[in-house]
């Protein structure tokens, strides 16, 4: 299988993760307003699995190092398979809850609470499990990225459409989403081998872990997404028949493409984790908020009608860049 042998390449892969995780939601914006998120999410889940399989049968099956995808999957023990599968199920409910919280409380409340909490919890639990990197530099960097997310929230609050949406319900859902989001990566990490080139028996290589994670996401969708289709926390309920009646080939392809983008970032992130460590790899991946902010500011022009946000946006980008730089440097000192 294809693996990397340097921290520099690990950083490159985590930057790709940031681009993917910060960009996939644009496909939801491209979908019709009549196409509810719950319906979009079915195609998204399929896209996550399809891309993970594509990478597993190509990059995960080529070369002389490690174990090929089929051989790796066939030798995995039940604990490793369950851990990666559980990671997909936990991520799935966290992601759906976060979207619901954004609909209820607005981006300015839900995103900093949800993603900020997920970032802190995710880095802490993964660093405790695999303590790679300078903890002082790492957690100062995480603190600055968290501060950038908070500043981003203040900027969003200045948007005319974001006022008056904050509710206790939205905050509670954001907290739950962030808590769950902070743990999904640890379940995937626990399923993986420590040495990709010479993998121990029973554990999964990153490509296999990504596929099993994706299966957990898709299978759990029949539980989580079904609940939110018929008992939505925000908006009107939708039905399975709507998926076939309202969906067009274009809409389905947009959703699948969105899932494929996210899945590429996930697989590259766990490939990078051997050289970077799980805490740094996850922390850099959650720098996706920076990419999402760049899309919002420069492509979607979300702040064109907001007043007094230039200073906040400047501060946000500076905090992001310095924080991410410190997270990268923490592995070198």
Q: How far apart are CA 168 and CA 79, in angstroms?
A: 38
**How confident is the model at residue 56, as a pLDDT?**
98
pLDDT of residue 307: 85
Render pLDDT for 242-280 as a digit per residue (tens, 0 to 9). 999 999 999 999 999 999 999 999 999 999 999 999 999
Q: How confident is the model at residue 188, as a pLDDT?
A: 98
In a domain, 1, yes or no: no
Q: Which domain holds residue 39?
A: 7-329
The answer to whether residue 154 sits within a structural domain is yes
In a domain, 36, yes or no: yes
Residue whose token pair is 């948007």: 159
Q: What pLDDT does 306 receive?
A: 82
Look at the chain and report how many structural domains it folds into. 1
Rg for the chain (alpha carbons), in Å?
Answer: 19
Is residue 237 in a domain? Answer: yes
Indicate the Cα dihedral angle 221, 224, 227, 229, nearest 10°.
-50
Q: What backbone phi and psi angles, to 5 degrees, belong to 125?
A: -65, -35
2 is a domain residue: no
Which residue ranges in the chain fall short of pLDDT 50?
Answer: 163
pLDDT at 256: 97
Give pTM, 2 decimals. 0.94
Q: Rounded distance, CA 37 to CA 100, Å?
A: 9
pLDDT of residue 29: 84
Residue 32 falls inside a structural domain: yes
């Amino acid at each position: 299988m294809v693996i990397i042998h340097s921290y520099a390449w690990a950083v490159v892969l985590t930057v790709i993760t940031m681009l993917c995780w910060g960009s996939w939601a644009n496909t939801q914006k491209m979908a019709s307003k009549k196409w509810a998120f719950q319906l979009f999410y079915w195609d998204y889940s399929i896209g996550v699995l399809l891309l993970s399989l594509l990478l597993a049968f190509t990059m995960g099956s080529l070369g002389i190092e490690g174990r090929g995808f089929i051989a790796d999957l066939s030798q995995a023990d039940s604990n490793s398979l369950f851990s990666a599968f559980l990671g997909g199920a936990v991520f799935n409910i966290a992601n759906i809850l976060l979207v619901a919280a954004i609909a209820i409380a607005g981006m300015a409340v839900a995103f900093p609470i949800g993603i900020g909490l997920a970032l802190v919890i995710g880095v802490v639990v993964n660093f405790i499990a695999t303590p790679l990197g300078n903890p002082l530099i790492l957690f100062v960097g995480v603190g600055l990225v968290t501060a950038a997310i908070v500043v981003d929230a203040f900027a969003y609050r200045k948007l005319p459409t974001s006022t008056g949406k904050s509710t206790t319900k939205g905050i509670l859902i954001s907290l739950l989403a962030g808590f769950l989001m902070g743990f999904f990566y640890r379940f995937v990490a626990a399923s993986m081998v420590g040495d990709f080139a010479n993998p121990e028996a029973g554990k999964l290589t990153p490509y296999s872990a990504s596929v099993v994670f994706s299966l957990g996401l898709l299978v759990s969708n029949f539980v989580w997404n079904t609940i939110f289709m018929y008992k939505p926390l925000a908006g009107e309920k939708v039905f399975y028949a709507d998926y076939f009646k309202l969906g067009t080939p274009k809409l389905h392809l947009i959703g699948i493409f969105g899932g494929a983008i996210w899945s590429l970032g996930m697989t590259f992130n766990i490939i990078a984790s051997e050289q970077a460590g799980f805490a740094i790899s996850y922390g850099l991946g959650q720098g996706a908020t920076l990419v999402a902010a760049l899309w919002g500011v420069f492509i979607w022009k979300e702040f064109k009608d907001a007043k007094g946000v230039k200073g906040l946006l400047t501060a946000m980008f500076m905090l992001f860049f310095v924080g991410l730089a410190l997270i990268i440097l923490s592995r070198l000192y």
